[in-house]
């Protein structure tokens, strides 16, 4: 993973890296990507396992509930006139 790729991917992930971090990440990630090359030569089996519990579709009933502690939860958020504050969009 070269320096430019590290920088580009970090940007996509909304992270600015210092020059020192860029060099460290380039070195460490290149090293571990050498280890990851093994996946290209490894056999695979279907179906892909997204979750080892294989509990697809095990959902609770879709019943609306009133969350008891909503007011308490809002106390820990930065609020303005009853709305959660966020940065400007336009």
Partner 1 sequence: MRHISLNERYHMFSEAASSYEDKKLTFSLSDDIVATGFTASAGSRILEGHRPVYDSTVSARMRAAGGSLIGKTNMDEFGIGMFSVTGTDIPKNPFDLARSCGGPCGGAACAASLLDGHVALATSAGGGISVPASFCGVLGLTPTHGRISRHGLIDSVSSMGPIGIMATNADLLRRYLKVISSGDPNDPVSAAQPDLVLGKSKLKAVAVPNGITDLVSTGVREAFDRSVGTLRDMSVDVEYVDIPELDYSMSAHYILATAETALNLATYCGMRVGQQSGDMSLPFDDYFTSFRTKYFGTGVKKRIVAGTYMTLGDNRNELYMRSLGIRRLVMSRYEEILSEYDAILTPSTPITAPTFDEVSGIRYTDEYLTGRFAVPPVFCGLPCLSVPCGYPDGVPAGLQFTAARWNEDVLTDAAAAWEKAFDIKAPEASL
Could you say whether residue 36 binds partner 1 (CB under 8 A)?
yes
Could you say whether residue 2 binds partner 1 (CB under 8 A)?
no
| Least distance to partner 1, CB of residue 70, Å | 9
Q: Among 84, 66, 71, 18, which residue's Cα sits nearest to residue 10? A: 18
Could you say whether residue 82 binds partner 1 (CB under 8 A)?
no
For the chain, the straight-line distance linking the first and the last C-alpha, in angstroms and rounded, comes to 35
* Residue 61 φ/ψ, nearest 5 degrees: -60, 140
Distances in Å between the alpha carbon of 38 and those of 14, 15, 33? 29, 29, 9
| Least distance to partner 1, CB of residue 79, Å | 10
Q: Given CA atoms 79, 83, 85, 88 in this order, what sign does their dihedral have?
A: negative
Could you say whether residue 81 binds partner 1 (CB under 8 A)?
no
Instruction: List residues binding partner 1 (CB under 8 A).
Output: 1, 5-6, 9-10, 12-17, 21, 24-25, 28-29, 31-32, 35-36, 38-40, 42-53, 55, 58-60, 69, 72-73, 76-78, 84-89
């Amino acid at each position: 993973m070269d320096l430019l790729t590290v920088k580009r991917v970090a940007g996509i992930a909304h992270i600015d890296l210092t020059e020192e971090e860029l060099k460290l990440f380039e070195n460490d990630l290149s090293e571990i990507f050498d280890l990851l090359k093994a996946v290209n030569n490894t056999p695979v089996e279907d179906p892909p396992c997204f979750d080892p519990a294989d509990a697809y579709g095990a959902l609770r009933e879709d019943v609306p509930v009133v969350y008891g502690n909503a007011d308490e939860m809002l106390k820990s958020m930065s609020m303005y006139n009853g709305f959660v504050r966020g940065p400007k969009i336009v």
